[in-house]
Structure 1
Amino acid sequence: MLRFIKKQFRIYLYISYLYLGTIWIFINVWIFTNNLVYSIPYNFGDNLQINEAANLLYRYGYMDDYSKTHNNNHMNNDHGNPIPPDQNPYESKFLSPDKLSLTNPPKEFNNAIRKFQIQYNLPITGKLDKATKNLLISPRCGNPDQPIKSKQSSTLLSKLRFGNTIHFNQNYSFTVQNANNNHNNNQNERRLLKRQKRYLIGDEKMKWTKKQLTWQIQSYPSHSLSRVRAHAVFQHTFNLWSRVVNLDFMEEKDYYKPADIVIQFGAGKHGDSIPFDGAGGVLAHAYYPTPDNVYSFSGDAHFDDDEIWNDGPHKTHRNLISVAAHELGHSLGLGHSSVPTAIMYPYYTRTWEKVKLDPDDIAGIQQIYGAAKPGKFIPPEPSLPDIPPPPPVTTEAPKRENVFDFCNISVDAIIKIRNLELYVFKGEWQWRVTWSKTVTTWITYQFRDGPAKITYYWPALPKYVDYINAGIERHDAAIYIFRDKKFWLLLDNMRMKPGFPSDGLPLTDLGLPSHLERVDSVFLWGENQAIYIFAGKYYWRLDEYSGPFGKVISSPDYPRLIKDTWQGVPVPTQAAFTGLNDETLFFEGTNYYVFDNIAMHTRPGYPKQASLGILGCMK
């Protein structure tokens, strides 16, 4: 009898083990399948080649450009259009086998792999193993993870091995002890993840200096989420951040009023110099805020319109709430986090839970701006599906293609405003072009808005000013506007300089000759920060602090012939401005020249087509 009972007990025990084992397998398979990144087969990373991995590591900030690192004689002689139409600044030069050995990759590549593995708590092998491949090719945010200098990047591993402290913008520091072997190295490198602050402040200077920010959706998903549902998503995500941080967000409903944070959906080349890569891969990218400048394009967020967006969890669609909350974190100044549960974790994973901020996200944003005040107002969120449509804008935005062909155009004047934005003028029209800072690098020119009538942008000017010849912002931020034989001096587009007559003053009040019919161009030269006026074949230097409104220098040396000093510059010029790297650009017809301040001559290879990027062409 006892033997029978023991036998029955063993049978029940085996059945229990089998039952529990089945449950365990089912639970783990369910968890695994429900946390796979969208659209990425588990073994898809097996096809990732070393040169492709190097491109991704470069794009996300873990690796310098190998072609630049290993060619000290490499010189970039392309001083052409600041926005080359086929160049992606996040794309490295690893595309051909002779650039990177597939069997013997350089040390920089292995170091980059180790940094990536450390960042995401992967096995630290320094090799492109399966786990590393699978994460590298997963859909994610397009902003880089590593805003550290290339010099720091190339020496990270050596510093780890000798117990140095490495500081990442003073918010990302750690120390490891001396290591005598590889086993200890791996232990120390793993310990790194426990000691560091996971959140990363993008740049201490790149933050908003005001507490009330405006936002605006300028374009919506074209083939997935409806406008009303997309609008509700962004109201919800702004509220997520507003509840924890000492910032207030208000939607700007007037198309022509600039918003601090502009939201756009676009596919491929979508108006900046960082094109999207189609469905999968990069889902979105955003720009850090720029300090003390309400005109900046920075702070904006772009979303890939090739993705299928949804306003909640879905097996195949992207959850816009999750991605938008992440990108808006960048718009407020946060970098990427290594905490997988944080909104600022760069890789996109499916979750069936309600999107919420992680304590890591909250700690990071409150370090920048402080905690939300108790009882602050949070804008109401409409309940789906009964969402009222967004209120209409007060003025219908003109369609760009119905005004000009921006890719084949000459202009009358260009004014650089606040060192971050260009006001471009053609006849009675004006539009705005900007350049902005991404997470780690300055990028090139992007169309912002317009065109609109000059009288709309400049209500301080008389209504009859329906075109201008030239203009410039002074060092004190006052703005000169030139039209025929008159000029105006404004505090900004809304106000005239105190004491300046609204009907303008004659050019002779600046000390220019009475026979002068018009000013052709005016610019601030980067070499001496002086303002120069070009008219006909002559030029003058302007002393902006002389007299009540400025005067040209009275000297036997002026006026001078343009051709004697500014060699190669077209005479007369149509427009000019000094842009990135203190380079002065001169415009003639649909072409432009770049002036070499050292050689005092236009650069070789010019003129070139002016429209791409600089003047608003989006091809």
Structure 2
Amino acid sequence: MLPCRGARAAACLLLLLTAAILSSCAGAGRPSPVQHRHGSAGAGWHSFKRLLHARRGSRVTGLGELKRYLDTFGYMPEHAGDHATPTTTDDAFDERLEAAVKRYQSRLGLPVSGRLDAATLDRIMSPRCGVEDHGMSVSVAGGVPPEHGGAVSRFSFFKGQPRWARPQSESESDPAIVLTYAASPTATVGYLPPDAVRAVLQRAFTRWARVIPVSFVETDDYDAADIKVGFYEGSHGDGVPFDGPLGVLGHAFSPKNGRLHLDASERWAVDFGGEMETSSAIDLESVVTHEIGHVLGLGHSTSQEAVMYPSIKPLQRKADLTIDDVEGVQLLYGSNPDFRLSSLYNERATSRSPARSSWAASSGRLGIVGVVLVILVTQL
């Protein structure tokens, strides 16, 4: 190596700066390594990873527990309501289990093979909503126009399509429905400030109110509220106990029940800024927005981009309604007169702009690198 003296010293310094710029450009657009630390499996169902590649005819320890999981979420209807325990459910990958896996893959928008491939197990092990997926009427009418990426709607409803209705005592000239909501003053988690939770609820309800003629009004009278939100652990009186961190995140009941429950054992976050070192933080706003969809009467969607998709990853934020979410809830309640579905197309296009801008910035930096390299060549 030549000694760095005089002009060569300046050139060497420029070379070091160039290397730093190249390193920065190479890393642009890649997620920070800490964002991958959470892995793909919830703590409660992490043991299912041993079932990778299992298929009909296999016998693997843990298949019995998988049968219980699929039964819980509605994929083994021949045993609906009979949630067998792992000790009484065998570990044989039989015809019934294969059919259940195929139903699961179809409903979750996965390739339907009947085998426990990596994509299927990744989804099974992910934290999810506690509302079951089976037994809901799926609408195939309408849908996203072909020019926007599809032709078939993927939303669903609870059986019978229950919905909230305007009280008969209200004026017939006002089609809007007004629902009150409140957060429980006692069913809370200590590390979440009450004002932060209220802000999350307000934003989540506002998203749905924007697209349908339903208004949501916060009230201090929890007992009288139409929609009651609370954090609970384990068995909490509704017959559907929570299972601890990174399993079932929450559940809600169909209209006009109004109960919206969240698992207090989760590590809830209202801002990931202070949570990036945590492997299990769940975005509260995303889950609350999802559960409000159930309160309004929506079931789960097969669209993986939709808010009403049943699962979500730690450190993932998915609170903005998609076209599929909007079309589903509007079939129940109609459209807010001030809302236009085309605005979602524009928002989706706008959301893609930062990626192009980042590339433009990176390209600009690479252009500067080129100039620096030319200077280096002339100096050495």
Q: Tell me the TM-score range normalised by the shorter chain.
A: 0.5 to 0.7
Secondary structure of the 1:55 match is helix
1:357 equivalenced with 2:357 (yes/no): no
Q: 1:137 maps to which residue?
A: 125
CA distance in structure 2 between the aligned counterparts of 1:39 and 1:92, rounded to whole angstroms: 21
C-alpha change, 1:41 and 1:205, in structure 2 (3 Å) is closer
1:121 equivalenced with 2:87 (yes/no): no
Listed as ranges, the matches of 1:576-595 within 5 Å are none
> Match of 1:254, as an amino acid?
D
> Match of 1:197, as an amino acid?
S
1:322 equivalenced with 2:292 (yes/no): no
Listed as ranges, the matches of 1:13-412 within 5 Å are 27=30, 33=36, 36-37=39-40, 45-47=48-50, 49-64=62-77, 66=79, 92-96=83-87, 99-100=89-90, 102-103=91-92, 105-148=93-136, 168=137, 171-172=139-140, 196-210=152-166, 211-218=177-184, 219-256=186-223, 258-290=224-256, 298-313=257-272, 314-315=275-276, 316-350=280-314, 355-374=319-338
CA distance in structure 2 between the aligned counterparts of 1:307 and 1:31, rounded to whole angstroms: 19
Contact 2:298/2:329 (8 A) holds in 1: yes
Secondary structure of the 1:92 match is coil
Offset from partner CA, 1:376-400 (integer Å, 9 cap, x none): xxxxxxxxxxxxxxxxxxxxxxxxx
Secondary structure of the 2:84 match is coil
Larger mean Cα displacement after TM superposition, 117-126 or 320-329: 117-126
C-alpha change, 1:110 and 1:343, in structure 2 (3 Å) is same
C-alpha change, 1:94 and 1:43, in structure 2 (3 Å) is closer
- Unmatched runs of 5 consecutive residues or more in structure 1: 1-18, 69-88, 149-167, 175-192, 291-297, 376-619
Offset from partner CA, 1:17-66 (integer Å, 9 cap, x none): xx99x959994895982885575699753235211111111111111254
C-alpha change, 1:38 and 1:51, in structure 2 (3 Å) is closer
Offset from partner CA, 1:452-501 (integer Å, 9 cap, x none): xxxxxxxxxxxxxxxxxxxxxxxxxxxxxxxxxxxxxxxxxxxxxxxxxx
Secondary structure of the 2:211 match is coil
CA distance in structure 2 between the aligned counterparts of 1:31 and 1:371, rounded to whole angstroms: 41
Contact 1:142/1:283 (8 A) holds in 2: yes
Secondary structure of the 2:156 match is coil
Q: How much does 1:226 deviate?
A: 1.7
Offset from partner CA, 1:72-130 (integer Å, 9 cap, x none): xxxxxxxxxxxxxxxxx6x711422x533x24x33121011011112223332212333
Offset from partner CA, 1:338-372 (integer Å, 9 cap, x none): 11111111101246667311111111111111111
> Match of 1:344, as an amino acid?
M
Contact 2:181/2:222 (8 A) holds in 1: no
Secondary structure of the 1:309 match is strand
Contact 1:37/1:138 (8 A) holds in 2: yes
CA distance in structure 1 between the aligned counterparts of 2:271 and 2:286, rounded to whole angstroms: 8
> Which protein has greater RCO, CA pairs closer than 8 Å, 6+ apart?
2
Q: Identify the structure with the greater helix proportion.
A: 2
CA distance in structure 2 between the aligned counterparts of 1:94 and 1:126, rounded to whole angstroms: 23
- Unmatched runs of 5 consecutive residues or more in structure 2: 1-21, 52-61, 143-148, 167-176, 340-380
CA distance in structure 2 between the aligned counterparts of 1:239 and 1:270, rounded to whole angstroms: 28
Secondary structure of the 2:77 match is coil
Contact 1:45/1:130 (8 A) holds in 2: no
Offset from partner CA, 1:140-183 (integer Å, 9 cap, x none): 000011225xxxxxxxxxxxxxxxxxxx35x1479xxxxxxxxx
Contact 1:34/1:350 (8 A) holds in 2: no
C-alpha change, 1:310 and 1:31, in structure 2 (3 Å) is closer
Q: How much does 1:373 deviate?
A: 2.8
Secondary structure of the 2:304 match is coil
> Match of 2:263, as an amino acid?
D
> Match of 2:201, as an amino acid?
F
TM-score scaled by length of structure 1: 0.42
CA distance in structure 2 between the aligned counterparts of 1:35 and 1:367, rounded to whole angstroms: 37
Contact 2:41/2:122 (8 A) holds in 1: no
Whichever of the two has the greater Rg, that structure is 1
TM-score scaled by length of structure 2: 0.66
Secondary structure of the 1:334 match is coil
C-alpha change, 1:329 and 1:37, in structure 2 (3 Å) is farther
C-alpha change, 1:29 and 1:130, in structure 2 (3 Å) is farther
Contact 2:109/2:304 (8 A) holds in 1: no
CA distance in structure 2 between the aligned counterparts of 1:277 and 1:243, rounded to whole angstroms: 34
C-alpha change, 1:267 and 1:350, in structure 2 (3 Å) is closer
CA distance in structure 2 between the aligned counterparts of 1:141 and 1:94, rounded to whole angstroms: 21
CA distance in structure 1 between the aligned counterparts of 2:37 and 2:152, rounded to whole angstroms: 30
Contact 1:312/1:321 (8 A) holds in 2: no
C-alpha change, 1:354 and 1:92, in structure 2 (3 Å) is closer
C-alpha change, 1:370 and 1:43, in structure 2 (3 Å) is same
Q: 2:17 maps to which residue?
A: none
Q: Identify the structure with the greater strand proportion.
A: 1
> Match of 1:234, as an amino acid?
L
> Match of 1:138, as an amino acid?
S
Matched residues, number? 285
